[in-house]
Structure 1
């Protein structure tokens, strides 16, 4: 086995392919919003699926392997999310005042308190901010995972794994049942944390239990096969058991095994451009939405809207997200902040 593959999973190191995975996720969202959704309904939601399983794998490493102190975990989450989100809401609330995208203080508060996804699920669309539903799901899931970490750090690993996996499986079953019962767009079901958290929790649970075996030879092919199979399940699955349940498990297997996958597969995620997009992905995800709405309203051409959305996202990352995150992390930790995946 090549040395680049045969390293112990206990070793702390940065994994470039995970940046690339994040980059792929936001590119899929962009492709869907600016064209592909017209031909493949909900294509963009597959990008969110990629984000969710990545989040589960990363949070499992941070909370259950490295065992970051819970207060520090929440401080880093605040630094990671709130500066860029607050500035985005402030600017869009002013820029779209009196237009089709106008929203009031109550809507902004629902986004900043991460309650927007349930308001949407119960019939209150928010236009410019409705993409924040996925951020709500992530933050709710992180709170639950942190509580589990706090409660189980003196317990055995099987108990921890069992609790997380059971929660993910219940969310998965809940989603399948709700899709079957849905009379309208089944995509609405996925806005709910008690459904969408499945990808985060199952990925976290599988990473915890499979981590000791990730350096073995069979992982060189599991990740590529799992990713291809997940794409097929998402594209051609006609039942929620397949396009939601099976797809979620396969994506989780793909992301937790990517570090030890075959070099030809892993290199696809390690290119500098894709990794840069991944580093900027949160800000790009925030800022693509208003331009997606402008294109959908016929105010701007789709190509120009796409370019402007990416440009604003990169600017947000360079001018707001990255410097303020570093400043806040330094303030919280009282020491120079190292770059992390948190």
Structure 2
């Protein structure tokens, strides 16, 4: 446990004001995704968690938008005019995604060419190039083009907000801008028309804007944090609401509930996760302690690796007949997923975390 705390849970040096509870929220996000996929594959028939996986990805989007926009908006106007700052932003975003993503793509391409059909990602040469060009996203890889495209949008949004906050009534103008962008995105890319696992940012833009909105509220209305008890109550209410959004629960109660609805509740999940994030930051109490716990923080720190590798591990062990190994098969599967995630994090994520070209 001491090794985990000092090695894996050590926050990146490049990130000031690290909040441990947000690591735990990221851990919740990846656990939701994994639990849904385990249910899809028949590993968790009870409770039925089919259909909840997308909500975990939306939490990833909200967290990413919050952390990045909060960091940008905390910079001085002078910093935001420096080319070095934006060069560093671009480098950090590339290093966050591409080393591990590229490894997964190349391993998948090699195994596909070798005829290993048990490997989850089947990529021929044409599919490899489409994934490299962010024009395709097989299985969970759909979220990579979405996230990376948002990295290109975010500087413009934050620069507009930074300019507005210097104007009279700027915080309200900034909030109005985010709301206007959200309504425009919902009109331009209606949720009802969203393809499953679309790689277009537009359908999910309202989710990312919710994270930016949480950062804007945190910086422009700091007095809201004084109402800790209200935030604690809201935090628990939002966690209950998440449970109530589980299709299997409604089916157990004899009600009809289409699992596809969770795949298109972009605005609802964006707003809900953003408010939960603020509740964890400002509420204190058991909710904050829960997300600051070592198990959830560990899952959060290795969440990207866990997200990319859990399906190959699941499908590979299934092909080896792990379901016939008795009562220990599920713990062994979960242990293999965690081991793959930790090893991947240590080898292909952590070495890049503190790399930057601008020291400001």
TM-score tier, shorter chain, comes to: 0.7 to 0.9
Note closer, same or farther for the CA distance 1:229–1:22 as it changes in structure 2 (3 Å cut): same
Once the two structures are superposed, what CA deviation does each residue of 1:42-74 show, in whole Å capped at 9, x if it has no partner? 222222122122122212212223366322211
Mapped to 1, the partners of 2:353 and 2:214 lie a distance apart of: 29
- Name the SS for the 1:73 alignment partner: helix
Provide the residue aligned with 2:349 in structure 1. Answer: 321
Note closer, same or farther for the CA distance 1:107–1:325 as it changes in structure 2 (3 Å cut): farther
Q: For residues 194-205 of structure 1, what are the structure 2 equivalents within 5 Å?
A: 194-205=202-213
Alpha-carbon shift at residue 321 of structure 1 (Å): 1.0
- Name the SS for the 1:40 alignment partner: coil
Provide the residue aligned with 1:178 in structure 2. Answer: 193
Provide the residue aligned with 1:301 in structure 2. Answer: 322
Provide the residue aligned with 1:92 in structure 2. Answer: 108
RMSD: 2.9
Of 233, 237, 240, which aligns to 1:228? 240
Provide the residue aligned with 1:208 in structure 2. Answer: 216
List alignment gaps of at least 5 residues for structure 1. 1-11, 118-125, 180-185, 336-342
- Name the SS for the 2:163 alignment partner: coil
Once the two structures are superposed, what CA deviation does each residue of 1:123-153 show, in whole Å capped at 9, x if it has no partner? xxx3xxx211112211111211112224553
Alpha-carbon shift at residue 310 of structure 1 (Å): 2.5
Provide the residue aligned with 1:52 in structure 2. Answer: 61
- Name the SS for the 2:226 alignment partner: coil
Of 23, 32, 39, which aligns to 2:36? 32
Provide the residue aligned with 1:5 in structure 2. Answer: none
Alpha-carbon shift at residue 40 of structure 1 (Å): 3.5
User: In the alignment, is the contact (CA less than 8 A) between 2:175 and 2:216 conserved in 1?
Assistant: yes
Q: For residues 135-174 of structure 1, what are the structure 2 equivalents within 5 Å?
A: 135-156=144-165, 157-172=171-186, 174=189
Do structure 1's residue 13 and structure 2's residue 38 form an aligned pair? no
Mapped to 2, the partners of 1:114 and 1:48 lie a distance apart of: 18
Of 26, 37, 42, which aligns to 1:22? 26
Note closer, same or farther for the CA distance 1:109–1:270 as it changes in structure 2 (3 Å cut): same
Mapped to 1, the partners of 2:108 and 2:147 lie a distance apart of: 22
Note closer, same or farther for the CA distance 1:42–1:307 as it changes in structure 2 (3 Å cut): same
- Name the SS for the 2:164 alignment partner: coil
Note closer, same or farther for the CA distance 1:71–1:141 as it changes in structure 2 (3 Å cut): same
Mapped to 2, the partners of 1:189 and 1:272 lie a distance apart of: 32
User: With CA pairs under 8 Å and 6+ residues apart, which has the higher RCO, 1 or 2?
Assistant: 2
Provide the residue aligned with 1:78 in structure 2. Answer: 94
Once the two structures are superposed, what CA deviation does each residue of 1:26-53 show, in whole Å capped at 9, x if it has no partner? 1111111123675333222222122122
Note closer, same or farther for the CA distance 1:240–1:94 as it changes in structure 2 (3 Å cut): closer
TM-score (norm 2): 0.73
List alignment gaps of at least 5 residues for structure 2. 1-15, 43-47, 166-170, 251-256, 324-329
Mapped to 2, the partners of 1:160 and 1:145 lie a distance apart of: 14
Mapped to 1, the partners of 2:224 and 2:198 lie a distance apart of: 30
Provide the residue aligned with 2:122 in structure 1. Answer: 102
Note closer, same or farther for the CA distance 1:32–1:252 as it changes in structure 2 (3 Å cut): same
Answer with 267-276 or 104-113: which moved more. 104-113
Provide the residue aligned with 1:287 in structure 2. Answer: 309
Provide the residue aligned with 1:251 in structure 2. Answer: 273
Note closer, same or farther for the CA distance 1:167–1:110 as it changes in structure 2 (3 Å cut): farther
* Equivalences, count: 302
Provide the residue aligned with 2:168 in structure 1. Answer: none
Provide the residue aligned with 2:298 in structure 1. Answer: 276
TM-score (norm 1): 0.77
Note closer, same or farther for the CA distance 1:161–1:280 as it changes in structure 2 (3 Å cut): same
Alpha-carbon shift at residue 318 of structure 1 (Å): 0.6
Note closer, same or farther for the CA distance 1:277–1:240 as it changes in structure 2 (3 Å cut): closer
- Name the SS for the 1:313 alignment partner: helix
